[in-house]
Structures are given as C-alpha cells and as structure tokens.
Amino acid sequence: DVVMTQSPLSLPVTLGQPASISCRSSQSLVHSDGNTYLNWFQQRPGQSPWRLINKVSNRESGVPDRFSGSGSGTDFTLKINRVEAEDVGVYYCMQTTHGPPTFGQGTRVEIK
Amino acid sequence: EVQLVESGGALVQPGGSLRLSCVASGFTFSDSWMTWVRQAPGKGLEWVANINQDGSQRYYVDSVRGRFTISRDNAKNSLCLQMNSLRAEDTAVYYCVIGGGYWWGQGTLVTVSS
C-alpha cells in the first residue's frame, strides 16, 4: 500500500499569516492515465471532512482561493495564504492513484 | 443539494454483525462510485471499501476483507455495508462518501464492545 506521510502533524499559526502542509507518498502518484490523484481534505472540529483540492491543485467549488495545492510525483503541498479562524481543524491528504486509497495521518491546524 | 444520510450504527458485542445504510439524493447515484471511510475515536481517516456504478467491482481494505460486504441498490439510491465478525478495532464513525471524496455524509457511530 502507498504510505502517505504528512508534516508537520501540528501547526500553530497566527491569524492572517500563511501556513503550509507537506504530504509525501512512498511511490509516485502519477497514474497510467497521466493524472495525479492527490486530494486534500479539511475536517473542522465535530464535522465531516470535505474535499478542498482534487488532482493536486484543483479547488472544489466553494473553497476560498486562499487555499492552494501544488506538487508532483511524490511531494505535495497545501498552502493557506492567510489563515482565518474558520480554517482551524485537521487536514488530510489522500491518494487514489493506487489501490487501496490511503490517507496521511492528518495535520492539526490551530490558532496561536 | 447533495445529501448522504447514514444509519445503522449501534453498540454491538465482539463477533456480532451490523448493517449500515446510506441513502443518497441530489446527484445521479447510479453514475457514481461509492465509498465507505471510517474514523476511529480521536484518530485519522481510513478507507474501508468502495463499489463501482453497477456493483460489479468491489474493493476492501485488508483488515475487513472477508468480514465486510459493500453493496448498492441503484433503484433506491442506497449504499450498504454489511459488517460481520466485528472486532473492537472496528469501532469508528463510518462515513458514506461519493467516489474519491467529493461529498461526505454525517457519519454513523459503530461501537464494538462487551
């Protein structure tokens, strides 16, 4: 199975400052169809997860443009341009290129 | 509006069985892969199983293969997860999910304990 490793696991940030989360996979996530199936999810306290980003960098409808995804191969990053209070929660990367789909451990974002 | 409503979670003894259901609305269910993802208390997310549009392809995480069965009824827009031989480590909130995570239900709690 593909192992997804996130860092850091805890990220205290100041309101209005940027934040960055790294996600590394144990093997390339480039699918034979040429796409890279790397997603990012946000889970706010007490809520279900929701997908922010699909295929590395495509923001879902309704996701603020302060969120951006980048990367390729085995190294990926989620960036929050200017953190707001509503961004508190746990962020997960997930790959669906190789079966079975696997998640990172999660990164907890909190306000300093 | 897309909606996924799970039900069936309960307290069950080790070795017991439970059947989870998910009723979908607001999208074309019969065109969608469907997935179950679980989250143990205070832990991260774990993909459990998924099923293709007509039910001909089903995949499971190793830890549940042979014990859990995913199924769907496109006429009723419903997804099910039959869970047998339950273990303490199956304790989790189980989420019904569209495809690779497009939309998630609110989850249903399964507790396996004596």
Determine the pLDDT at residue A36: 98
Identify which of B19, B11, B39 has the alpha carbon closest to the alpha carbon of residue B104.
B39
DSSP code at position A99 = S
Structure tokens at A37: 């199936």
Q: In 3-state terms, what secondary structure has residue B29?
A: helix
> For chain B, which residues score pLDDT lower than 70?
none
B-chain residues near A103 (CB < 8 A): 44-47
CA–CA gap between residue A77 and residue A69 (Å, rounded): 6
pLDDT tens-digit series, residues A26-69: 999 999 999 999 999 999 999 999 999 999 999 999 999 999 99
Query: What is residue A78's predicted lDDT score, i.e. its pLDDT?
Result: 98
pLDDT at A99 over 90: no
Chosen from A4, A10, A48, A105 to mutate, greatest number of chain B CBs within 10 A: A48
Residue B64 CB neighbour total at 10 angstroms? 22
CB < 8 Å from A in window 82-111 of B = 95, 100-107
Q: Which helix (H) or strand (E) holds A33?
A: none
